[in-house]
Structure 1
Amino acid sequence: MSNINFIQKSDLFSYTATRCLRNEYFHNDCHICIDLCPKGAFHIVRNKLTLFENECVGCAGCIGSCPTEAFEIESFDPNGFAASYQHQNESTISCKTSTPCLGIFDVEHYTVMALRGEKSVVCDLSHCEGCVLNENGKLGESIREKIDATNRFLEMIQTPQRIETIDVKVEENDRRALFRKGFEKVKESITEESVAHISMTAAHHKRPDVKMPLKRILLKNSLKEIIPGLETTEFTQSSPLFFNKQIDFQSCTNCGDCTQFCPTDALFTTSDKQGIVFAQGKCIGCGICEDICKPNAISKKEGFSLVSVAFERAEQLVHYEMVTCHECRCPFPYKGGDPICDRCSSYIKEFSNMFTLAKDM
């Protein structure tokens, strides 16, 4: 079966295989959704992520954890909800009243809601412990980790907003009945006329050659609004949201594999094809570039710039002068010394004995 425009559906839930990192790069080992799914609906078949439709209950708990937005649910759009949160009458986000499982949101969504809203964002997590979807505790733990990461980022950039939680435990007699009731609520929300359910994500994905997740675009737009009021926009520590890269000049061969396989075009070549440029705002931290680099020239770098992230400023990591190798007459990135490419230099060293004349032996 072809993976081109391959979409699997289970009732309201859909999975687009062409947006999955495991399909983007054969050796990628992303398994977040597999670990989170309470029903074990995701499986690896021939090293490709596959949804077993008959096992999926459409709970939406995995949606927020996918870095490339490969999952969607027809009745609720987390990007639409986050973008319109400041206009909501109710500030409390709850799976019992306003949304599906809070696992539908990612750190980007929580950050957008916090930055755009004038009121505190309150997440009702009191139902997580008794929820049938959280029997192994993984889904609830994931939600709390994302909220904690959001608050760490908000504290780092010194904004007053925070994500608050309601953790009071409640008694639930029939957990499975409550889950069925909650799932029916999600189905019914299809007919509701609410800005929270306008499918911004679906419209975004219909645009040609779209590689950037919409949640990342919403976050960058939100940062543009607050940057003028921040005391500092340059940070030396790592962030749960933004990533930085560096390339070792001596190790890099300018082969271009990292730019070819980057799923969001965070790494791209210069116009003369002799250098590599990195855009922090586009990087989702998938690690494909580091894994695919044969000489291990790419590595993580501490620090990030909010201005570079928000306004998509890119940094040139390396640039080479291309010269012609004196042996094979092919162009190669020159790094000093004799104008001989690495391939020829290695060949001469390994097989020098083949060129030794009998009179010299």
Structure 2
Amino acid sequence: MSSSAKKQVPVGSRDDLQIDPSRCLRTRFSESVCNHCQAICPAAALSLEDGLVINQEQCSGCLLCTTVCPSGALEQQADFQAIILQLRKVPKPVLGCCRSKEQAHAWLSCLGGLAEEHLLTLSQRLSGALTLNLIHCDDCPNSAILPLLKERLQRMTASGLTAGGCNLVTATSQVELQYQPETVDRRSFFTSFRNSLFQAAADVMQTSAKPVERSSSYGDKRIPQRRELLNQTRSSLPEEQQATAAKQFDHSIRFNTACSACQGCVAICPTGALVSNVQEEHPEFVQERCTGCGLCVEFCLDQAIRL
């Protein structure tokens, strides 16, 4: 294959990201040391010195940064709920990326964007087995996602959080893939349509009635997409798995006697996990909204917060 032909293979770009610099911890507090996105980026496309900046020429859209950003400053453009509905239409669904679009039933710009919260959601909202099409990953510029994705899969399996749900498997060869195109006969069409309607209704019932606003306002409080998925999915888990999910994903905060109740941590928290409470000597902590970003700890002048 010629070098010019190689350049035509789509691998994603900065346009696959939803970017909100005002939510970046380094933007909210200049002394924050958060650099998760910069550390995981294999293309060195991220800069944090003068705020969150992504180099358009270097970014290949691997989406790894979206799996580690704790505040929602970097998120996928893809509608993950729509992807799940698409995968439900077939008995043996395959999830692929833009390079393998001809052999998948739904697609992300890169499977590197599958965080553990996504894997848990896929496992619990699908049935049977879901195959992740990794056939082209080895020779892709985004091949750095492979060991990280496999590590997440192993961690989820070892934790037991995917037990009882859809089996998540990977395919690195055509033999392992066993892809079957979606059938469109009349009977299967109406069955698929009916099932999608029922499941969509169930998803709506599980989702908060108040829509999440995407705003660049500094004072805006919202939960990142990954945390939203987690909160929606684990509510349907058995009690034992809910406890496991809490150990793996939840954080707790303690205030010591040095807390002056200045409410500075309430103002700077990007997710609304800390709320003013006039009845107490310190703010109220809302655990399901906390992503463990640690900004409150960094910002507290009294060093009164322990995460």
Report the TM-score when normalising by structure 1. 0.58
Q: Assess if the C-alpha contact under 8 Å between 1:266 and 1:279 holds in 2.
A: yes
Mapping of residues 1-361 of structure 1, within 5 Å: 10-46=14-50, 48-72=51-75, 74=77, 76-82=78-84, 84=85, 87-89=88-90, 90-95=92-97, 96=100, 97=104, 98-99=106-107, 100-134=109-143, 137=144, 139-153=145-159, 155=160, 159-161=163-165, 164-166=168-170, 168=172, 204-206=212-214, 209-226=220-237, 229-231=238-240, 233-234=242-243, 239-248=247-256, 250-272=257-279, 274-300=281-307
After superposition, the C-alpha distances for 1:162-192 in whole angstroms (9 at most, x for unaligned) are 653326468xxxxxxxxxxxxxxxxxxxxxx
Q: CA deviation at 1:159?
A: 4.2
Q: CA deviation at 1:283?
A: 0.6
Q: CA deviation at 1:80?
A: 3.7
Give unpaired runs (5+ residues) of structure 1.
1-8, 171-194, 301-361
Q: CA deviation at 1:151?
A: 2.9
Q: Assess if the C-alpha contact under 8 Å between 1:251 and 1:296 holds in 2.
A: yes
Q: CA deviation at 1:214?
A: 2.8
1:298–1:42 Cα change, 3 Å: same
Give unpaired runs (5+ residues) of structure 2.
1-12, 175-196, 198-206
Q: SS of the residue aligned with 1:121?
A: strand
Counterparts of 1:115 and 1:30 in 2: how far apart (Å)? 31
Letter in 2 for 1:243: H
1:183 aligns to what?
none
After superposition, the C-alpha distances for 1:130-186 in whole angstroms (9 at most, x for unaligned) are 32222xx4x323322332343344x1x68423653326468xxxxxxxxxxxxxxxx
Counterparts of 1:108 and 1:120 in 2: how far apart (Å)? 18
Q: CA deviation at 1:125?
A: 3.7
Q: SS of the residue aligned with 1:35?
A: helix
Q: Assess if the C-alpha contact under 8 Å between 1:86 and 1:118 holds in 2.
A: no
Aligned length: 251
1:101–1:86 Cα change, 3 Å: closer
Counterparts of 1:224 and 1:272 in 2: how far apart (Å)? 29
Q: Assess if the C-alpha contact under 8 Å between 1:10 and 1:57 holds in 2.
A: yes
After superposition, the C-alpha distances for 1:202-257 in whole angstroms (9 at most, x for unaligned) are x844379451123322322222233xx4357556x973322122222x33232322
Counterparts of 1:247 and 1:163 in 2: how far apart (Å)? 41
Greater Rg over alpha carbons, structure: 1
Moved over 6 A (4+): none
Q: Assess if the C-alpha contact under 8 Å between 2:133 and 2:171 holds in 1.
A: yes
Q: CA deviation at 1:261?
A: 1.6
1:173 aligns to what?
none
Q: Structure 1 vs Structure 2: percent identity of aligned residues?
A: 22
Q: Assess if the C-alpha contact under 8 Å between 1:267 and 1:278 holds in 2.
A: yes
Letter in 1 for 2:68: S
Counterparts of 1:11 and 1:87 in 2: how far apart (Å)? 27
Counterparts of 1:71 and 1:88 in 2: how far apart (Å)? 30
Bigger fraction of residues in strand: 1
Letter in 2 for 1:218: L
Q: SS of the residue aligned with 1:94?
A: strand
Q: Assess if the C-alpha contact under 8 Å between 2:72 and 2:223 holds in 1.
A: no
| Larger RCO, structure (CA 8 Å, separation 6 or more) | 2
Letter in 2 for 1:146: R
